[in-house]
Each structure stands twice: as C-alpha cells, then as structure tokens.
Amino acid sequence: MCYHNVGETEVAKEMVQDIFKSLWERRQELELEKIENYLMRAAKFKAFEYIRNKVNRQRHDKFQFLDCSFASNCTEEQVFFNDLKEKIDILVDTLPCQCKKVYKMSREQGLKTTEIARILDISERAVEYHITRATGRLKTGLAGY
C-alpha cells in the first residue's frame, strides 16, 4: 500500500517500519479486532502524510529559491530580511526555556507535535500550548513589522 501510493521503495520501507514501531509502542492500549484493517488504514494515512509534506516542501523550496531579480530592490529587501531575522532570534531567545525548545523543534527543525511530545516526554496539548504561546509573543514583538 505504501509503495503503491508513494512509488519509492526506501520511503515505503521506512513508512512500514514506522507503522510497526507505532503499533509495538501502543500494543498495550490498542484493542484491534482485525489487524489487517488497521495496518491498511495506517499505511494509507502514512502515505497521505508523506505526500502532503512533500508537496509542502516543494512549495516552500519554490518560494525560497525565487530569483532576486523579481524584487524591486534586492539589497534593501535583504537588509530588511536580515533585520527581521535578527529580531525574531532575539524574541525567541527571550522565551521561557521549554517554550523556546518546543518552538525551535517545531519551526526550525520541522518536527510534528507528536514527535516533539515524544522527544520531550510531554503531552501533545503541552506542545500546542508552547507553540501558541511562542507565536503569540512573536506576533506581539513583531507588531511594528
């Protein structure tokens, strides 16, 4: 199912490995009547997630590598960008320790809420709280931009 949807052998193998790892980690709490149905559905969702993330990465890369010649004043925009990035870095550094850690894992490393929760051994709700808190502070601090 994974290979059929993704078309890449190695990626499909990793997906299947992730599915079985998740199944093993949650074996005590899962009550499955038909394991085949669970595995097929998990494979379908894992493939969908991969495709969605791949499309998002491609969109991001497309905008990231746009030629600077389209801009009216590249130097001015580069200075503005550097200034904004510096301001963001300063604001992120002022966040509380756990909040800063969660924000960086989410925004800079691109980890999902569930991955962050597992790594830091906190609930997904706590991760969402920290991200909301961090983005709120950034919005307030960047109001002039």
| Residue 80 binned pLDDT confidence (cut-offs 50, 70, 90) | confident
User: Looking at the structure, do residues 27 and 60 belong to the same domain, yes or no?
Assistant: yes
pLDDT for position 101: 93
Residue 101's domain comprises 74-145
User: Looking at the structure, do residues 132 and 114 belong to the same domain, yes or no?
Assistant: yes
Using a 10 angstrom Cβ sphere, with 0-12 exposed, 13-18 middle and 19 or more buried, the burial of residue 138 is middle
| Overall number of domains in the chain | 2
Determine if residue 30 is left, alpha or beta; phi over 0 gives left, psi from -120 to 50 gives alpha, anything else beta. beta
Higher pLDDT: 62 or 71? It is: 62
Check which CATH number belongs to the domain holding 128 and give it.
1.10.10.10
DSSP string, 4-54: HHH--HHHHHHHHHHHHHHHHHTTTT---S-HHHHHHHHHHHHHHHHHHHH
User: Looking at the structure, do residues 5 and 62 belong to the same domain, yes or no?
Assistant: yes
Residue 129 is encoded by which pair of tokens?
A: 């709280």
94 Cβ contact list (under 8 Å, min separation 6): 137
The closest of 95, 84, 82 to 135, measured between CA atoms, is 95
pLDDT in tens, 41-55: 999 999 999 898 888
pLDDT for position 60: 77
**Average pLDDT, integer, range 111-128:** 93
| 11, pLDDT greater than 80 | yes
Please indicate, yes or no, whether the overall pTM of this predicted structure exceeds 0.85: no
